[in-house]
Amino acid sequence: MATKRAGKRSGTKRATGTKSATRSKSGAKSKAGGAAPARSGTRPRTVTKRGAKKTASKAVGGRRTAASAPLSEYNAKRDFTRTAEPAGTVPRARGKALQFVIQKHAASHLHFDFRLELDGVMKSWAVPKGPSLDPSVRRLAMEVEDHPISYNTFEGTIPQGEYGGGTVMLWDRGTYEADDGGGAESLRRGYEKGELRFVMHGKRLKGGFVLARLRRPGRPQWLLIKRRDDHADVDRDITAEQTTSVATKRTMEQISSGRRVWHSNR
Ligand code: MN
């Protein structure tokens, strides 16, 4: 309620601003003028502020619901009669080293899907530019829905028109661990906190990385950053250097022209 009212109010203000002749000037004025009283006005009325916060945490609550029914979002987005991607199920805990996989995905926009195993699913981020070995480079990583662990062997082509339609290459894989030796518990805490520090033992990616969540509204956005260690290298452009599958050595073109595209370990 309180949030709605606040929204209406700012809407009225914007409309008033647009009416005046010198739009940008008065727009800026009304913005500045609007912001100050609104802030001081909401201060005693903490209800408004809390109301807004509640809306935000509702979204988080929604994600929590998704977590209680693991992979429901993943499954809802896909038609498994049309795509060779695996249906999402959560296997029994195996107590093995945690897996990671990075898939190069030529969908509507080329990106790298960065996936870390945690609690029976692959926590997933879409990284438009892919990982960098340069610790001064921060790569945007947009969190996406959890994927099943069985997705870690998926390489092939998702039909056009289906969710994520395009070619998927297994770009790197291996195991990873918390950098403080705290195991899954530490990783879980880092994920919740929005500061995930880990060490990768991949074919191509090795050493420390951090995923740091940005304070932005909407779907969580993170930054993927290489940590300073022996595996950091400012001179190498790893995504330009490695353009074939870590599993089959195929190029994107070879994968997309391949018929049978699903590779399973079993
Ligand atoms: Mn993707």
| 5, 32, 38, 44, 103 from 10: Cα distances, Å | 9, 12, 9, 19, 43
Confidence band of 212 (pLDDT split at 50, 70, 90)? very high
Number of Cβ atoms within 10 Å of the Cβ of 182: 14
Average pLDDT over residues 138-165: 96
For residue 103, report the distance from its CA to the centre of ligand 1, in Å.
8
If one compares 262 and 44, the residue with the highest pLDDT of the two is 262
HSE value, Cβ hemisphere, 13 Å, CA-based, for 265: 6
Structure confidence at residue 44 as a pLDDT band (50, 70, 90): very low
What does the alpha-carbon distance between residue 225 and residue 212 come to, in Å, rounded to a whole number?
8
> How far, rounded to the nearest angstrom, does the alpha carbon of residue 141 sit from its chain's CA centroid?
5
pLDDT class of 68 with cuts at 50, 70, 90: low
Q: How far apart are the first and last CA of the chain?
A: 54
Give yes or no for a contact between 126 and 142, defined as CB atoms under 8 angstroms apart: yes
Rounded distance from Cα 54 to ligand 1 centre (Å): 31
Distance 40 CA to ligand 1 centre (A): 44
Q: Kindly report the pTM of this predicted structure.
A: 0.72
Task: Compute the mean pLDDT over every residue in the chain, rounded to the nearest whole number.
Answer: 80
d(CA 77, CA 89): 14
> Which pLDDT does position 97 carry in this prediction?
94
Mean pLDDT confidence for 27-50: 38
Q: Which of the residue ranges 85-89, 172-176, 206-210, 227-231 would you say has the lowest mean pLDDT?
A: 85-89
What tens digit of pLDDT does each residue of 109-138 get? 999 999 999 999 999 999 999 999 999 999
Residue with tokens 């074939």: 244
The pLDDT of 81-107, averaged and rounded, is 92
Residue 124 CA, ligand 1 centroid: distance in Å:
9
Which of 33-47, 89-103, 213-227 is least confident? 33-47
Measured distance CA(35)–CA(29) in Å, rounded: 10
Percent of the chain with pLDDT over 90: 68
> 106 is written with which tokens?
């030529």
| Mean pLDDT to the nearest integer, 42-51 | 38
Distance 111 CA to ligand 1 centre (A): 6
Report the separation in Å between the CA atom of 92 and the middle of ligand 1, taken as the mean of its atom positions. Answer: 25
pLDDT at 263 over 70: no
Q: Give me the pLDDT at residue 130, please.
A: 98
CA of 221 to the centre of ligand 1 (A): 15
